[in-house]
Amino acid sequence: MVRVNILIAGVGGQGIITMGKMISNAASIEGVKVMVAETHGLAQRGGAVNIHVRLGNVYYPLIPKGGADYIVGLEASEALRNLEYSNEGTVFVINKLSIRPVLPKVKAMNVEEVLSIIKGRKHYLLDAKSLADQAGNSKTMNSVLLGFLYGIGAFRGLIREKSFEESLKSEENRRAFKLGLNEAIKLVTLL
């Protein structure tokens, strides 16, 4: 059976745990085994957060280092913080968004700097914020990225679109998912 490891990173409060719920509920609708390891408590407060999503024939909760098939950064530099989970084939999905750490006299790494580091590796850059605004709620960036992931085939053979539609709670989220998906289709057709 196929196995997919997706590491999703960002900043506490960006809806990363919700994104994990969307995936795990959709997987469950399909009867696909899923494990999502989450970050809670102190680690969550505005700090760096990640979730490990494992789908398919899985027993343990964490993605091995060098074992991620996809690394998603809801904030660009957070994808890099998890670089050790990548291998040569890892696909990066980077949100065009940079959030400054809440520390005095500290600059956030900008999106260009992030891209320069993963240059030459398979990656997509997505302006999830503008698509989320288009969907009617800037908080639906997570659904945009999820739709995009779906569009580039991250869940192929595991989860169908209609199961995501069922697992997404609001109309705004479903719109955002669709916008992300369309963006992926555009890119894939261009390639």
Partner 1 sequence: MLSQSKFKVILGNEAIAFGALASGVAVACGYPGTPSSEIIETIMKAGKGVYTEWSANEKVAYETAYGAAMMGARALASMKHVGVNVASDAIVSSSYTGIEGALVLVSADDPSMWSSQNEQDNRYYGLLANIPVIEPYDPQSAYTLIKKAFELSDRVKHPVMFRTSTRISHVRAPIELEGQREPIMGKLVKSPSRYVLAPENARRNREEQLRRWEKIKEEVEELNELIGEGEKLVIASGIAYAYVKEILEDGNLQDKVKVLRISTPVPIPRKLLIRSIEDIEEALVVEELEPIVENQVKSILFDEGINLKVYGKKFVPNRGELTPEVVMGAVYRFLGLQYEEVKYEKAEVTPRPPAMCSGCPHRSSFFLLRKGINMATLKTFFSGDIGCYTLGVLPPFNEQDSAVEMGGSLGIANGVFRSTNTIPVAIIGDSTLFHSGLPGLANAVYNKLPVIIIVLDNRVTAMTGQQESIVREIEIENVARGMGVKYVRVFDPFDINRGSKEVEEAAKWVIKNKEPVVLVAKRACALEAIEKVQGELPRVYVDEDKCTGCGICYDAFTCPAIIPLSNKKAWIDDSQCISCGACIPTCPFKAIKIEGKFPDGWDKAWLE
Binding site for partner 1 (CB under 8 A): 11-13, 20-21, 24-25, 27-28, 33-48, 57-67, 77-78, 80-81, 83-86, 100-109, 117, 138
With respect to partner 1, which residue has the nearer C-beta, 25 or 182? 25
Alpha-carbon distance 68 to 141, whole Å? 21
Q: Minimum distance between the CB of residue 185 and partner 1, rounded to whole angstroms?
A: 28
Secondary structure element (H or E) that encloses residue 52, with its range:
strand 48-56
Rg for the chain, CA atoms, rounded: 15
With respect to partner 1, which residue has the nearer C-beta, 17 or 149? 17
Asked whether the CA dihedral 99, 105, 111, 116 is positive or negative, the reply is: negative
Q: Minimum distance between the CB of residue 136 and partner 1, rounded to whole angstroms?
A: 15
Alpha-carbon distance 179 to 191, whole Å? 19
With respect to partner 1, which residue has the nearer C-beta, 108 or 185? 108
Q: Minimum distance between the CB of residue 108 and partner 1, rounded to whole angstroms?
A: 7
Crossing angle for the helix pair 128-135 and 171-190, nearest 10 degrees? 140
With respect to partner 1, which residue has the nearer C-beta, 77 or 142? 77
With respect to partner 1, which residue has the nearer C-beta, 35 or 181? 35
With respect to partner 1, which residue has the nearer C-beta, 96 or 182? 96
Alpha-carbon distance 95 to 10, whole Å? 10
Asked whether the CA dihedral 28, 20, 93, 171 is positive or negative, the reply is: positive
Q: Minimum distance between the CB of residue 120 and partner 1, rounded to whole angstroms?
A: 12
State how beta strands 70-73 and 3-11 pair.
parallel
Q: Minimum distance between the CB of residue 113 and partner 1, rounded to whole angstroms?
A: 10
Q: Minimum distance between the CB of residue 137 and partner 1, rounded to whole angstroms?
A: 11
Burial class (CB in 10 A: 0-12, 13-18, 19+), 162: exposed
